[in-house]
Structures are given as C-alpha cells and as structure tokens.
Amino acid sequence: MNNSFSESYKKAGVDVTAGYKSVELMKKHIARTMIPGALSGIGGFGGLFELDMTGISKPVLVSGTDGVGTKIKIAFILDKHDTVGIDCVAMCVNDIICCGAKPQFFLDYIACGKNIPEKIAEIVSGVAEGCVQAECALIGGETAEHPGLMPEDEYDLAGFSVGVVDKDKILQPDTQKAGDVLIAIKSSGVHSNGFSLVRRVFDVNEQKLNMRFDDLGATLGETLLTPTRIYVKAVMSLLDAVKVKSISHITGGGFYENIPRSLPKNLAAKIERNAVQVLPIFDLIQRTGDIPERDMFNTFNMGVGMIVSVDKNDADKAVAAIKAAGEDAYVLGELVESEEGVIIC
C-alpha cells in the first residue's frame, strides 16, 4: 500500500493514506475479538468465518443489522468516541439472541466527513469491546470518507452480525400460554433508542451534558453515553438452564411496540407498573420534558433491556441463571388472554 496515493483524490477531500493508518491503528483492537472460526485478517475483500457445527444438526443463520442512531450526537459534543461501538454491536447481537441464536461474527461500517485515523481507531475500539462482550469476532468492516456529504468532524456508525441456531432450538412464541411469567433483565440506561426525544428534552449542549445530577450520580453526558448492555452471555446461560419461550429486546418503541413482536395474537403481557424498576434517568427525562407516562413506556426501555417469557414453574430458576451470568433480573408480570398486546396496570 506504500505506493498507493492520489494527490488529485486528496484535493477532492479523500486521503487514502489516512485510511491505511486507520487500519494499522485498529488492528490491536480487532485482535482482541479473534475466536475459533475467524479465518481472515482485515484488509481482504471479504471476511471469512468457519462455523463450528458441533451439536447443531440443522444450522440456521440469523442476521441482524442496526446503527447507533442520534445518540452519536452526544459523542460528537463530548468528543468521546470509544463507547458508541459497543452500542452498535449491542443493537445487532441483542436482536439475534431473541431467536435463540448465538452471534458468530460482526462487521462495522463507518461513514465520516474526514478520516481522522485516531478517531476511527477510537470508534473501532468500542466495536471490538462490544464483540468481546458478545463473544463474536470482528472479521471486517468499511470506513468511507464522504467529503461534502457530512461535516468533517462527524460520522455515522452501523453494523451487521450473523449468528447460528439449531432449527429445532429456535424459540417458538406460539408455545406461550396464559400464566407464563415475564422476567425483566435490567438495562444500563437509555441504551441507543429515543435520543431524538432526549436531545429535544434537554436541548443538549456541552454545558448541559457536563452538569452533574445527584440522582444520577454522574453528569448527564456520562449517563446518556452509558453503553447498551450486551445480553449474549446471560441469554446463552439462560437457554441452557430452562426452556425459554420468547425473548423481547426493548428498543425504540419501548414496551408497547416490542413486546407484542414476541407474542401470539391471543395473548397480552400484563405488567405490574410498580414492579418496573425505573432508572433515575427516565424519571429525569419525564420530569424535564413533562412527558406522559404512556409515551415514556412507548419510547424508552424504562430500565428493562430484555423481557423473557418462561413457564411459571421455571421463573425462579430463570432469574437465578440470569443473575449468575452477571445481569440483574426480576419478575415483571405474566401473560394473560387478551388481544391488547401490552397492559400496564
């Protein structure tokens, strides 16, 4: 690559040598994610991964893709870029595990106004950390310099992940019945959804993001940039411990949009409002923005990152398995016969 340089292209706003430097700087981060099955290093035209089919008789590939959304604006203002990559991985792999699949590999895509190698490497360090937490390999990606399309100091980040599950072990929401118990797995905060509303509520700028709130125990910016929890290890442990009937990833649209995606039409999730362990950041958002409670539950995760459905006889064992895997969990409600989808009372 030493002889690859175009003065004309650089004058147009694209410095290919900056791209090469970015790759060199990110290699140490990518190396942390290498797991058995990852066959190729970065720099090729495709990422290679060999699936281990041990114990899988009918392999089914499960894919997920997502980005970080407007949360990335908080990173711009605070000039802190090493956590949004965790969010990007989380938004993809947390969807995949809702089918019962284990993530295998991940690819990222960074579009930037100007390729600043140190910033790109910082972003990728977060992506790599997310992959380590998800126990999947970062086997490729793309950094695209887009002069004129976005400001030089801005970027966007998206990703794509693939997992595998035995066809006979794909979760079957149709097996759910009235009386099944809903278990909440706690979130770490706002995660990566609802930030258009968050930014409007706080009219965010550097000064406001650096304000410290006693009930948060941190600055507003630190709280909002808290990375999305990655639930892969906890869910894989849970699947080994009990029969899980369905899993809902609580993202944009909150409870009212996401929970019904994992329910048959004749059942609704009946959630005890007082059981929901709402995090302080959501109370602050609601008070500051004077937002109706239903809108809060229809926009944010409210402190619940995942909701798992199990037979009532397995509830205690399920909570114990989740806690043993390092996440906090508690009983949130139950399934009832209704076509309302979600009932919070």
More confident residue, 203 or 8: 203
pLDDT of residue 65: 98
Phi-psi category of residue 253: left, alpha or beta, with phi > 0 → left and psi -120 to 50 → alpha: left
Residue 81: exposure state from Cβ atoms within 10 A (0-12, 13-18, ≥19): buried
pLDDT of residue 6: 67
Q: Name the band, by pLDDT with cuts 50, 70 and 90, for residue 294.
A: very high
Q: Name the band, by pLDDT with cuts 50, 70 and 90, for residue 58.
A: very high
Helix, strand, coil distribution of the chain in percent, nearest 5: 40, 25, 35
In the structure encoding, which two tokens stand for residue 226, read together? 């808290």
Q: How many other C-beta atoms lie within 10 A of the C-beta of residue 167?
A: 10
Percent of the chain with pLDDT over 70: 96
Cβ within 8 Å of residue 203, ≥6 positions away: none
Q: Name the band, by pLDDT with cuts 50, 70 and 90, for residue 26.
A: confident
DSSP for 188-227, written as a single string: SSSTTS-HHHHHHHHT--HHHHT-EETTTTEEHHHHHTPP
Q: The pTM is what?
A: 0.94
Q: How much is the mean pLDDT over the chain?
A: 94
Contact 201, 289 (CB under 8 A): yes
Q: Which residue has the tokens 């016969």?
A: 337
Percent of the chain with pLDDT over 90: 89
Q: What is the pLDDT of residues 130-176, one digit of tens each?
A: 999 999 999 999 999 999 999 999 999 999 999 999 999 999 999 99
Q: What angle do CA 299, 173, 344 make, to 5 degrees?
A: 40
pLDDT of residue 20: 76
Q: Name the band, by pLDDT with cuts 50, 70 and 90, for residue 71.
A: very high
What's the whole-number mean pLDDT along residues 283-307?
98
Reply yes or no on whether the pLDDT at 2 is more than 70: no
Reply yes or no on whether the pLDDT at 14 is more than 70: no
pLDDT of residue 4: 66
Cβ within 8 Å of residue 332, ≥6 positions away: 182, 183, 184, 271, 272, 275, 276, 304, 307
pLDDT of residue 3: 65
Reply yes or no on whether the pLDDT at 72 is more than 70: yes
Q: What is the pLDDT of residues 94-109, one digit of tens each?
A: 999 999 999 999 999 9
pLDDT of residue 22: 82
The 8-class DSSP code of residue 72 comes to H
